[in-house]
Amino acid sequence: MTHRTIPDIVIGRLPQYLRSLQRMENENRLITSSQELAERLGISAAQIRKDLSLFGEFGKQGTGYDIHFLIEKLRAILKVDRVWDIVVVGAGDIGSALARYQGFTNRGFRVTMLFDKDPSKIGMKIGNFIVQDIQFLSQAVEQAGIKIGMIAVPSAEAQAVANQLIKGGVRAILNYAPISINVPPYVRVQYIDPVIHLQRMTYYLD
């Protein structure tokens, strides 16, 4: 079972399964089915069974999935059975929202550093963080061994920030700037761009 054997599109669905299962666990549920997951997620039950079967035998025919067991398996597969430190670059609205975001807890992540280039922001406290000077970004990231960065700077600055992050050893970037960034093949990038999601829905509106 190497990376090559599992399509990235399948990997992209696993976090959605995990989120639904964790919600069920919070509701004190013990067992679920591919049908129930399908209804919650809008993905077919057959697809869900097929995706999960790529990683082993997680459910028994007729008895469904043990929610806790499947959560533990998915956390291990996605490597979020640990806590990853994250650096946030950009202390504007979005960066501040990320620095204060409650949704990382128990899901494998925590923000540990916040950077900006604006002298009026450097030294300010946002959430639990003192905004640090972006000129020390690569070196701070490297010293802390941080592998994940979130970019929340204006589009024109996103590529330069990505370069600094990668120089410091970051290998996964979540980019909030509405612009594509170029990275070497050993770095992964995901984008948060609300317009991409909105445009996908307007197609269906009258």
Interface residue list for a second copy (CB under 8 A): 3, 8, 11-12, 14-16, 18-20, 23, 40-41, 77-80, 84, 86, 92-94, 96-98, 100-101, 103-104, 107-109, 147-148, 150, 171-172, 174, 178-180, 188, 190-205
Least separation in angstroms between CB 42 and a second copy: 8
> 51 with 10: CB under 8 angstroms?
yes
Q: Indicate the residue among 136 and 163 with the shorter CB distance to a second copy.
A: 163
CA distance 195 to 121: 28
Least separation in angstroms between CB 168 and a second copy: 15
Distances (CA, A) of 87 to 10, 56, 183: 27, 34, 17
Q: Indicate the residue among 136 and 144 with the shorter CB distance to a second copy.
A: 144
For residue 191, which of 167, 166, 162 has the smallest C-alpha distance? 162
Least separation in angstroms between CB 153 and a second copy: 12
The burial of 114, by beta-carbon neighbours within 10 Å (0-12 exposed, 13-18 middle, 19 or more buried), is given as buried
> 92 with 36: CB under 8 angstroms?
no
Least separation in angstroms between CB 19 and a second copy: 7
Q: Indicate the residue among 68 and 171 with the shorter CB distance to a second copy.
A: 171
